[in-house]
Amino acid sequence: MNKKIGVFVCHCGINISSTVDVEQLTEFAKTLDNVVVSKNYKYMCSDNGAKLIKESIVKNKLDSVVIACCSPRMHEQTFRGVVESGKVNPFNLEIANIREQCSWAHSDKELATKKAKAIVKSAVAKAHLLEPLVKSKIKVTPNALVIGGGIAGIQASLDLAEKGLKVYLVEKSPSIGGRMAQLDKTFPTLDCSGCILTPKMMDVGNHPNIELMTYSELVSVDGSVGNYTVRIREKARFVDMVKCTGCLACVDACRLKGRIPSEFDMKMGKRGAIYVPFPQAIPLKGTIDSESCLMLTRGKCGTGPLCVEACEPGAIDFKQKDKEKEIKVGAIIIATGYDVLDPSSMYEYSYSNSKDVITSLEMERLINSSGPTVGEILRPSDSKKPKSVTYLLCVGSRDETECTWCCRIGCMSALKQMYLLKEKLGDEVELNICYTDIRSFGKGYEEFYRNIRGMNTNFFRGRPSEVRNAGEHLTIDIFDTTTNKLFEINTDLVVLVPALVPRYDSGELAHIMRLSQSSDGFYLEAHPKLRPMDTLTNGIFIAGCCQGPKDIQDTVSHASGAASRASVILSQEEMDIDPQIAIVDVDLCSGCKVCISICPYNAIESVEEEIDGKIVTHAQVNEALCMGCGSCVSACTSGALQHKGFKDKQILAMIAAVGDY
């Protein structure tokens, strides 16, 4: 049966036509077998282009369509829609990429046109062998999983919950709140961070649609978009969550109180083995650190554990074990946040060498009134008030030897802290800041910067080479490019504003979720401009700083965006499955199971079936799980497995067509 094939060549403005002779190419296509119509147009992806294709399909009663244009990643979906509107199966379409793989890669017009002809010939060869494919449907589980309980995770969870969707919010630490809970005030409005965060935290804690799983971590994720099966490990807190009233008596009583460096306080303060990370924690329940607790590590705590004594409701339970829970969700949002660079790697700044050189996050804990010094600014070495504080921006940022990127929040957070230091220490405190640029890009930021300049502060433009520990104080030599003079700053407290880096465990999570990371280690977005919350895996979204450093405002926008994207999936009862997946020809399958061991998505299983009176063992592809990667197809020794969108016979025909190029 002779198919009728139509070829449509796009100029793509001058992107293709300046290097490939599109007229010649169109004429050439007409000479190919069974090509009944061949046209070209300036912008095939436009309304007019679509109209041209649709009308041609109808007029010429086309069976298959070849569009010679840009990469299928750009418009394949759109063109499938156009083909479908012409009442042809949308999978009877083949895209010939003559832009990214031809006109954009070469400059010689003659050779590029020759190559384009070969590409189109090959596409037409495949078009002969295209088969109509039908999308099957799967039911979508209308639940969402949000990993990470910082402001990004909180915002995304609330957005989804408000839509009526069930949300599982998994947080690794004992309380939600994340980095924002560690801050004192936020720029540029100087809102109290806790005051604007805790209402949202409470909403999360109280929302009927949100199941909060704190002190929990992700174990495994199986399945694909619409149908994920996720295992979560709820770590043992050794405190009964139902009995515990959050009275904090145990925290006060703990034998190790004040002995263990507190992670929440960035190790500027100490906690006990049983603790609540901060007073507004949600859930407000005690947690026992199993690595420090004397009962758990040595089997005894003095004459008896003091927390048990102090706990009226008797909520302490040393026999608790980790629990694993399995949940089913339709979409996943990752909102795991960031870490700050440890400045010990830049030894010349004396972070390892002096107690009075701290990071800006450590300073934030000193400033915070529920921090280790109750909001008093005291030098860690002698607990005296500093008379002079110096900020060093870009420590490890914009640095080819550390982190090449800008941390985006360093400038503003330093300016904010300087304002608060003036408030706490009085106008006489000498505040110095050494900067390379001041990036005050957001709404209200420039005004804030202007205000700080007007507050009796010293701005030095330059990066110091080192910070010297001169015993009682610290000495910094800085060449100020604004005055072209070298200044020697003798200061009591140095605050390093460090680079923002991906979390220490981000690689682990990337491995479990099969996420891509960009070269800086942050999670890779599907498109930096147009799809910043999507990942390259359908159904998995990223929100907040795990995708890249950003301030709270951008984080909240990003998180709401991710929630919106996720809800597109979750609000459908059924989803189309892309039919371009693997399929088993039962007659050829020998049941060797090589494909099962190869499949990275556990999408193939071995089944027994009665065929023609005999019991046959063969492979079977689970359509909902198969991602169409093709690994099984290439591994299959008998050729039983084929990829519906790229069958062996189709590919071989394409190769043969290119053969005499």
Residues that bind another protein (CB under 8 A): 346-348, 352-353, 394, 398-402, 436, 461-466, 468-470, 475, 477-481, 484, 486
Q: Which is nearer to another protein, 115 or 468 (CB)?
A: 468
Give the shortest CB-398-to-another protein separation in angstroms. Answer: 6
Give the shortest CB-344-to-another protein separation in angstroms. Answer: 9
Give the shortest CB-399-to-another protein separation in angstroms. Answer: 4
Give the shortest CB-347-to-another protein separation in angstroms. Answer: 4
CA distance 203 to 215: 19
Query: Which residues are paired to 97 by β-bridges?
Result: 69
Nearest to 559 by CA among 200, 277, 232: 200
DSSP 60-111: HT-SEEEEEES-HHHHHHHHHHHHHHTTS-TTSEEEEE-IIIIITT---HHH
Give the shortest CB-362-to-another protein separation in angstroms. Answer: 21
CA distance 526 to 151: 22
Give the shortest CB-440-to-another protein separation in angstroms. Answer: 18
CA distance 387 to 473: 11
Give the shortest CB-522-to-another protein separation in angstroms. Answer: 20
**Residue type at position 596:** I
H/E element, 435: strand 430-435
Distances (CA, A) of 130 to 54, 64, 93, 133, 625: 19, 7, 8, 9, 24
Give the shortest CB-434-to-another protein separation in angstroms. Answer: 9
Q: Which is nearer to another protein, 120 or 393 (CB)?
A: 393
Query: Which residues are paired to 9 by β-bridges?
Result: 40, 68
Give the shortest CB-518-to-another protein separation in angstroms. Answer: 20
Q: Which is nearer to another protein, 63 or 492 (CB)?
A: 492
Q: Which is nearer to another protein, 16 or 478 (CB)?
A: 478
Nearest to 185 by CA among 203, 202, 173, 197: 197
Give the shortest CB-67-to-another protein separation in angstroms. Answer: 42
In this structure, what DSSP letter does residue 534 have?
A: B
Give me the residue label for tokens 């701005």. Answer: 459
CA distance 512 to 217: 11
Q: Where are the alpha helices (DSSP H) in 577-626?
A: 594-598
Q: Which is nearer to another protein, 425 or 478 (CB)?
A: 478
CA distance 463 to 480: 9
Q: Is 148 left (phi over 0), alpha (psi -120 to 50) or beta?
A: left
Q: List b or e across 604-621, with b for residues whose CB sees 16 or more CB atoms inside 10 angstroms.
A: beeeeeeeeeeeeebbbb
CA distance 155 to 442: 21
Task: Identify the burial level of 436 via C-beta atoms within 10 angstroms of its C-beta, where 0-12 means exposed, 13-18 middle and 19 or more buried.
Answer: middle
Q: Which is nearer to another protein, 351 or 448 (CB)?
A: 351
Q: Which is nearer to another protein, 282 or 474 (CB)?
A: 474
Q: Which is nearer to another protein, 15 or 353 (CB)?
A: 353
Q: Which is nearer to another protein, 84 or 399 (CB)?
A: 399
Q: Which is nearer to another protein, 438 or 577 (CB)?
A: 438
Distances (CA, A) of 319 to 126, 216, 288, 398, 430: 65, 18, 12, 49, 54
State the greatest distance between any 2 C-alpha atoms of the chain, in Å, as a whole number. 95
Give the shortest CB-232-to-another protein separation in angstroms. Answer: 41
Q: Is 285:241 a contact under the CB 8 Å cutoff? A: yes
Q: Which is nearer to another protein, 101 or 469 (CB)?
A: 469
Quick count: other Cβ atoms within 10 Å of Cβ 305?
24
In this structure, what token pair is assigned to residue 300? Answer: 């005894």
Q: Which is nearer to another protein, 354 or 650 (CB)?
A: 354
Give the shortest CB-359-to-another protein separation in angstroms. Answer: 18
Q: Which residues contact 314 (CB under 8 A, 6 or more apart)?
A: 243, 308
**DSSP reduced 3-state for 544:** helix
Give the shortest CB-353-to-another protein separation in angstroms. Answer: 8
Q: Which is nearer to another protein, 476 or 632 (CB)?
A: 476
Quick count: other Cβ atoms within 10 Å of Cβ 661?
11
Give the shortest CB-204-to-another protein separation in angstroms. Answer: 40
Q: Which is nearer to another protein, 398 or 424 (CB)?
A: 398
Give the shortest CB-629-to-another protein separation in angstroms. Answer: 38
Nearest to 37 by CA among 23, 47, 27, 24: 27
Q: Which is nearer to another protein, 22 or 357 (CB)?
A: 357
Task: Identify the burial level of 477 via C-beta atoms within 10 angstroms of its C-beta, where 0-12 means exposed, 13-18 middle and 19 or more buried.
Answer: middle
